[in-house]
């Protein structure tokens, strides 16, 4: 039984490592007409969001820049998915493009993962903020939160993130 679990674990690790290497070339994907926003484009948006939410912010990371551009382009043009940017939720990202990208990635990740094109904007915002908090709490990501970001993390830790976002 232990051998089977070990083999399954190794197979899953290998699969995830391979999937990481199979990222699309976000700069090469054209999103110009409605037909461009298909299942492949949606999957690429999810992959871009996942990449942003799982890799430390690094100005030298060219994939991060491509992923961010793709997320924004996909969000603004998708005929099926709609997103509302809540100014209250964005207080933590004031003057920080990297944190804004994380928030947008969280929105895309939640909406596409749950196949929720017309999801409640408040729910999408809440779930995106949860993703950003989880990202910030990972010490490998080396986030130095500002005062507002600390308030959001504290609210999440206390189970009051919904109240914080009101």
Q: What digits encode the pLDDT tens for the residues 46-78?
A: 999 999 999 999 989 999 999 999 999 999 999
Residues 133 and 38: their CA atoms lie apart, in Å, by 30
How confident is the model at residue 166, as a pLDDT? 87
Cβ-Cβ contacts under 8 Å for 40 (sequence gap 6 or more) = none
**Measured CA angle at 7 (ends 4, 9), to 5 deg:** 110
Listed residue (109, 74, 68, 94) closest to 149, CA to CA: 94
Q: Which carries the bigger pLDDT value, residue 118 or residue 3? A: 118
How confident is the model at residue 21, as a pLDDT? 60
CB 37 within 8 A of CB 65: no
């Amino acid at each position: 039984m232990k051998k089977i679990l070990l083999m399954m674990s190794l197979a899953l690790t290998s699969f995830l490592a391979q999937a990481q290497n199979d990222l699309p070339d976000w700069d090469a994907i054209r999103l110009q007409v409605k037909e461009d926003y298909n299942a492949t484009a949606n999957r690429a948006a999810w992959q871009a969001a996942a990449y942003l939410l799982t890799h430390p912010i690094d100005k030298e990371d060219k994939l991060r820049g491509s992923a961010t551009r793709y997320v924004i382009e996909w969000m603004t043009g998708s005929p099926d998915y709609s997103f509302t940017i809540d100014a209250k939720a964005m207080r933590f990202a004031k003057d920080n493009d990297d944190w804004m990208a994380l928030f947008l990635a969280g929105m895309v990740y939640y909406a596409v993962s749950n196949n929720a094109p017309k999801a409640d904007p408040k729910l999408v915002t809440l779930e995106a903020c949860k993703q950003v908090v989880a990202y910030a709490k990972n010490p490998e990501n080396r986030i130095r939160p500002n005062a507002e970001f600390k308030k959001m993390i504290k609210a999440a830790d206390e189970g009051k993130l919904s109240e914080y976002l009101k």
